[in-house]
């Protein structure tokens, strides 16, 4: 897969489309985002880098409803309420403020990824919502601006605006103004050499996570003695990762991704009280990955805010890796993903 693959949105959306539908895919970070320095603007403490997948898309439509007194949000066929509804309404408020309108909207979103299981449903969800809402409200944003906007819904969503590999810049550490801070934090595509990667996704538990990533990040930053060491080593990991990607060196990419993820989980385990997303089945999959490596198959694991494991390997080895992982966790479901497209209005080509 190559750098020039999915370039974002030529989609400068039609002004005031009033209704738009967008599709976005989840992404999995190889260098993790963990910890915010500004919760309101969703500014991360560290740069992160991910691969957008070609599985588990979210499709979201937004229709302006000038007659309505409030937003109506349906997620996977059910009326949203509580925190899920609040996050969507807050996001739409941001879009409305930019569009200079108070018109409410009807939002309908369908996920194909298990929601809340650390499989980045918020990334595909808010990337799709950003693209659809920006088009419906006629904001006319380019891909970089859409990435900044998606970030406000969920940090990792900034990366799902782009296909292939994407780097999300934390932005300037000491911005003079909120505007400068906002402008500095966005994702962009990352150049890679000849790499034909796959991520084998092992869903060992599709239930919702016990602690939200938002809460877990805050607690980790506030209380974990391991947070700062991980954040500073993550800078070096990112630099090495960029070199490894350019070189098309899947072993190096995998090693760096695995150590970065294990380090992130170490920061959480050292938080007070500890946040532990890893389950016994997670460790069983990690053992199977070690076994694959002992057998000479380059395979490396990464985990997010949940017990599920994503195993990076060569596309040519993906079937073998999937088989080994499935044998390790027979009750789990295993999926093979490749690099996927960026978020787009439906009916348009990928970016
Ligand atoms: O975007 P959020 O708030 O769901 O945070 C996700 C953070 C991780 O998935 C754990 C890591 C990452 O970079 O995606």
Per-residue confidence (pLDDT) for residue 17, from 0 to 100 = 64
Q: Average pLDDT of 32-58?
A: 97
Gap between the Cα atoms of 109 and 148, Å rounded: 21
Atom of ligand 1 nearest to the CA of 118: 9
Please choose, from the candidates 253, 272, 275, 273, the residue with its C-alpha nearest in 3D space to the C-alpha of residue 264. Answer: 275
Out of 155, 166, 220, 309, give the residue to mutate to test ligand 1, the one with the largest number of ligand atoms within 8 Å of its CB.
155
Gap between the Cα atoms of 71 and 73, Å rounded: 6
Gap between the Cα atoms of 276 and 266, Å rounded: 9
Gap between the Cα atoms of 348 and 73, Å rounded: 24
Q: Does the pLDDT at position 280 exceed 60?
A: yes
Q: Does the pLDDT at position 331 exceed 70?
A: yes
User: Is the C-alpha dihedral spanning 2, 344, 27, 33 positive or negative?
Assistant: positive
Q: Whose CA is nearest to atom 9 of ligand 1?
A: 304
Asked if 74 contacts 51 with a C-beta cutoff of 8 angstroms, the reply is no
Gap between the Cα atoms of 233 and 31, Å rounded: 11
Atom of ligand 1 nearest to the CA of 156: 1
Gap between the Cα atoms of 126 and 103, Å rounded: 20
Contacts of 12 (CB under 8 A, 6+ apart): 140, 141, 142
3-state secondary structure of 244: helix
Instruction: Considering only residues 321 and 9, tell me which one the structure prediction assigns the higher pLDDT.
Output: 321
> Is any ligand 1 atom within 6 A of the Cβ of residue 304?
yes
Per the rule left: phi > 0, alpha: psi between -120 and 50, beta: everything else, 199 is: beta
Atom of ligand 1 nearest to the CA of 122: 4
Per-residue confidence (pLDDT) for residue 70, from 0 to 100 = 97
Per-residue confidence (pLDDT) for residue 208, from 0 to 100 = 75
Q: Could you give the count of Cα atoms lying within 13 Å of 206 in the half-sphere of its Cβ?
A: 11
Cα 154 to averaged position of ligand 1 atoms, centre (Å) = 8
Q: 333: which 2 tokens?
A: 């479901």
Cα 77 to averaged position of ligand 1 atoms, centre (Å) = 25
Q: Does the pLDDT at position 183 exceed 80?
A: yes
Atom of ligand 1 nearest to the CA of 157: 1
Q: Average pLDDT of 149-163?
A: 98
Gap between the Cα atoms of 349 and 351, Å rounded: 7
Q: pLDDT tens, 9-39?
A: 433 444 456 999 999 999 999 999 999 999 9
> Is any ligand 1 atom within 6 A of the Cβ of residue 121?
no
Across all residues in the chain, what is the average pLDDT?
92
Q: Any alpha helices (H) in 227-336, and if so which ranges?
A: 227-247, 250-269, 280-294, 318-328
**CATH fold of the domain at 11-193:** Ribosomal Protein S5; domain 2 (3.30.230)
Per-residue confidence (pLDDT) for residue 8, from 0 to 100 = 40
Atom of ligand 1 nearest to the CA of 48: 13
3-state secondary structure of 200: strand
Q: Does the pLDDT at position 258 exceed 80?
A: yes
Please choose, from the candidates 14, 8, 23, the residue with its C-alpha nearest in 3D space to the C-alpha of residue 140. Answer: 14
Per-residue confidence (pLDDT) for residue 347, from 0 to 100 = 67
Cα 305 to averaged position of ligand 1 atoms, centre (Å) = 7
Q: Average pLDDT of 76-97?
A: 97
Angle at 309 between CA 304 and CA 313, to 5 degrees: 115
Q: 232: which 2 tokens?
A: 């500073």
Out of 26, 31, 32, 276, give the residue to mutate to test ligand 1, the one with the largest number of ligand atoms within 8 Å of its CB.
32
Q: 300: which 2 tokens?
A: 């490396």
> Is any ligand 1 atom within 6 A of the Cβ of residue 60?
no
> Is any ligand 1 atom within 6 A of the Cβ of residue 159?
no
Tallying the residues shown for the chain, one arrives at 351
Instruction: Considering only residues 216 and 113, tell me which one the structure prediction assigns the higher pLDDT.
Output: 216
Cα 28 to averaged position of ligand 1 atoms, centre (Å) = 8
Q: Which helix (H) or strand (E) element contains residue 220?
A: helix 213-223
Q: How distant is the alpha carbon of residue 320 from its chain centre?
A: 26
Range from 6-10, 124-128, 160-164, 276-280 carrying the lowest mean pLDDT: 6-10
What is the residue extent of each domain of the chain? 11-193, 197-337
> Is any ligand 1 atom within 6 A of the Cβ of residue 31?
no
Q: pLDDT tens, 186-243?
A: 999 999 999 999 999 999 987 777 899 999 999 999 999 999 999 999 999 999 999 9
Atom of ligand 1 nearest to the CA of 154: 1
Out of 121, 123, 220, 305, give the residue to mutate to test ligand 1, the one with the largest number of ligand atoms within 8 Å of its CB.
305
Cα 290 to averaged position of ligand 1 atoms, centre (Å) = 25
Q: Are strands 104-111 and 72-75 parallel, antiparallel or unpaired?
A: parallel
Cα 120 to averaged position of ligand 1 atoms, centre (Å) = 7
| CATH assignment, 197-337 | 3.30.70.890
Q: Are strands 165-168 and 72-75 parallel, antiparallel or unpaired?
A: unpaired
Q: What 8-state DSSP symbol labels residue 329?
A: -
Asked if 191 contacts 246 with a C-beta cutoff of 8 angstroms, the reply is yes
Per-residue confidence (pLDDT) for residue 121, from 0 to 100 = 78
């Amino acid at each position: 897969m190559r750098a020039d693959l999915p370039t974002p949105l030529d989609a400068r959306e039609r002004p005031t489309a009033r209704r738009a539908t967008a599709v976005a895919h989840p992404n999995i970070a190889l260098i993790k985002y963990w910890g915010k320095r500004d919760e309101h603007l969703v500014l991360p403490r560290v740069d992160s880098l991910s691969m957008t997948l070609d599985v588990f898309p979210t499709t979201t439509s937004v229709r302006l409803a000038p007659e309505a007194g409030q937003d109506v949000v349906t997620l996977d066929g059910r009326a949203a309420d509580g925190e899920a509804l609040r996050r969507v309404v807050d996001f739409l408020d941001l879009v409305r403020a930019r569009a200079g309108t108070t018109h409410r909207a009807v939002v309908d979103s369908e996920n194909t990824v298990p929601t809340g299981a650390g499989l980045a449903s918020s990334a595909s969800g808010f990337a799709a919502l950003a693209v659809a809402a920006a088009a419906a409200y006629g904001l006319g944003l380019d891909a970089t601006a859409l990435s900044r906007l998606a970030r406000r819904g969920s940090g990792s969503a900034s990366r799902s605006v782009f296909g292939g590999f994407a780097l999300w810049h934390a932005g300037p550490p000491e911005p003079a103004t909120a505007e400068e801070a906002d402008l500095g934090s966005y994702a962009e595509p990352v150049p890679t050499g000849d790499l034909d990667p796959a991520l084998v996704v092992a869903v060992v538990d599709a239930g919702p996570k016990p602690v939200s990533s938002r809460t877990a990040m805050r607690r980790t930053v506030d209380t974990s003695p391991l947070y700062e060491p991980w954040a500073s080593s993550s800078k070096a990991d990112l630099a090495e990762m960029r070199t490894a990607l350019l070189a098309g060196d899947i072993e190096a990419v995998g090693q760096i991704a695995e150590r970065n993820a294990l380090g992130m989980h170490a920061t959480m385990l050292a938080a007070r009280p500890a946040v532990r997303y890893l389950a016994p089945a997670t460790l069983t999959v990690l053992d199977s990955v070690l076994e694959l490596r002992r057998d000479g198959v380059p395979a490396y694991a990464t985990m997010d805010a949940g017990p599920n494991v994503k195993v990076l390997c060569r596309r040519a080895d993906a079937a073998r890796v999937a088989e080994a992982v499935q044998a390790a966790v027979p009750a789990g479901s295993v999926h093979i993903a490749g690099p996927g497209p960026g978020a787009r209005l439906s009916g348009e080509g990928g970016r």
